[in-house]
Amino acid sequence: MCGICGFNWRDPELAQRMTDVIAHRGPDQDGVWCDERVSLGHRRLSIIDLTEAGRQPMANEDGAVQVAFNGEIYNFAEIKADLEAKGHVFKGHADTEIIAHGYEEWGFDVVHKFIGMFAFALWDAKKKRLWLVRDRIGIKPLYYYHKNGRFLFGSEIKCILEDPQVARQVNHAALYAYLGFEFVPAPETAFADIHKIPAGHWAVLENGQLRVEEYWDLKMPERGVARSEGEMVERIRDLIDDAVRLRLISDVPLGAFLSGGLDSSTIVAMMRKHNPGKLQTFTIGYEDATFSETEYAKVVADHFGTEHRVLIIDKMDEASIEKSIWHLDEPMTDLSSIPLMFICQKAKQYVTVCLSGEGGDEVFIGYDRFKAAKIASFLNFLPRWVRHDLVGKWAKGLEDRPEKKGPINMFKRFIEGSLLPEEAMHLRWQYFMDPRLEQHLFTDSYKAQVPFDPFARVRAYNAKCTSKDKVNQQAYLDTRFMMSDSVLMKADKMSMASALEIRVPLLDHRLVEYLGTVPGNQKLRGMTTKYIFRKALEGILPKEIVWRGKQGYSLPVKNLLRTQLKDFMVALLHESPLIREDFDVAFVDRLIDEHLAMKQNHNHVLWGLMNIAIWHRRFFKNG
């Protein structure tokens, strides 16, 4: 796990500044390599091959191929053996080296041989070609800037901003998408002219021309493949077992995050199978029990005999909020970002690598939004005016409750999502704008510049999906649209802030591809989420863990905005020049008043606006 950066001209000083600003990603080593056409920079967090042989950028035998790599290739030993049989000579046993030699042997096709998470840059001096690759699922981030012949790239946006010729400009249209989805969808970022390479894509810069191409997509049969339940259970168990086994490869200590939910508990169970010795686990908790799962985490920790540590978060300080947004590079409203940053800081005191259950809810169908979509489909027989004018207005009049979920809060959220267009599918319950907000929140000048078509990208991804199974269509949308630039971006940035590597076995592409063939009714059975996953874990996990509902470890932001963070929120939203430019401050005040009075829960919008204001203040001189 590391950080990479570079550009298409020679400037060792700039390359060094770019690597320095992402030193948190790789505190163990740094390296810069330049020729007349390209400069590459690297920060290393040593995980495999701790010797000097693992230093990057790394070359092939004759130096014609140079690689800067971030991530892990878990099957590198098998690929290395194959390459050695073909005559390639290796200097060490770092996985980076197989990228250079594999490219020599197979060209671009080498990427299809990798099992892992990766973002890398490869310079081919003979062909004068720069090749950038982001892994299939998007576990590792990769950004670029290309304008007026100037091309820069990096693991984080902040290193690209080290070039004084890269103008810092707000991508105002991206802020609209962000407030709805709570992240900026690829290929855009919150900075104008800086882009993300989407998951499963590579970029090639050759002869001054840049092309970005998709090399992998999640292919699904139209209706799923009919198999017996027993066959599916056995295959899922085998795939998860092998995914965890591969991710235990490390020359440094590793542990696991354990929330007490199904996904993280599964990872711990499989780790224990392959590691009978010391196993360290880490859990987040809150004083408000409705936001905590610590009791369930303890059940799992006791069951598998782990060395378990719990971090209780009882307050939130402004400095931590500012720090998280600086590391995220752009606004992101995920309410679990800061807790994840805290637990990564804690875990880093004991280990360098943590396995995590990220991605399980997307690929196995675990979120409440999947159930909401199914319930909504049964209510379509009601006339629209009943759903919108009667039920909708009544639900909005219900006051918010302080607990995380509960019947009233869940009912209100269900109705709010149901009022959004059906083209948004299940993402209606993960989208936090509505016609009232769109009409009143933004200034007239903003609305005149930005086209309000929030679900354009959703339609584009739906058009790409090869399945006609509703549940699998939803899984595809979560995997290809939502996950890479929200859940996984958060996991990467919050862990690398503490130089901690997170590995995500449930997103092994072999498992993801297999689940793409499983019929939707085996994932969402009635109102039981993750059905086939739960069946696969019977006898492996305690029964109370296998069949319990989802909780999550998100920060109790709605209550903090009414207490500890109230004054900070009000001052921030009144003082920010970007908030005053793009948003109607009087309407923002109305949202604040309704939230403080507990008439409505506006935490998603208010927290989103706070993230925008802090981001602008941190990254722009006039902010």
Where in the sequence numbering do the catalytic residues fall?
A: 2
- How many Å apart are CA 326 and CA 618, to the nearest integer? 7
C-alpha radius of gyration, the chain, whole number: 24
Query: What are the residues whose beta carbons fall under 8 Å from the beta carbon of 163, sequence distance 6 or more?
Result: 7, 14, 18, 145, 150, 152
> Tokens at residue 210, please?
């840049």
Q: How far apart are CA 67 and CA 587, in angstroms?
A: 51
Residues across the chain: 623
Bridge-based pairing state of the strands 254-257 and 194-196: unpaired
Cβ(476)–Cβ(427) below 8 Å: no
Report d(CA 413, CA 191) in Å as an integer.
31
Task: Find out whether 224 and 469 touch, Cβ atoms under 8 Å.
Answer: yes
- Can you tell me whether residue 116 is helix, strand or coil? strand
Residue 600 makes CB contacts below 8 A (sequence gap 6+) with 396, 399, 400, 591, 594
Q: 178: which residues sit within 8 A by CB, 6+ positions away?
A: 184, 190, 330, 331, 332, 333, 608, 612
List the structure tokens of 266.
């599964």
612 three-class SS = helix
3-state secondary structure of 148: coil
* Token pair for 160: 């690209």
Give the C-alpha separation, 347 to 254, whole Å.
9
Contacts of 199 (CB under 8 A, 6+ apart): 134, 135, 136, 137, 138, 186, 480, 484, 485
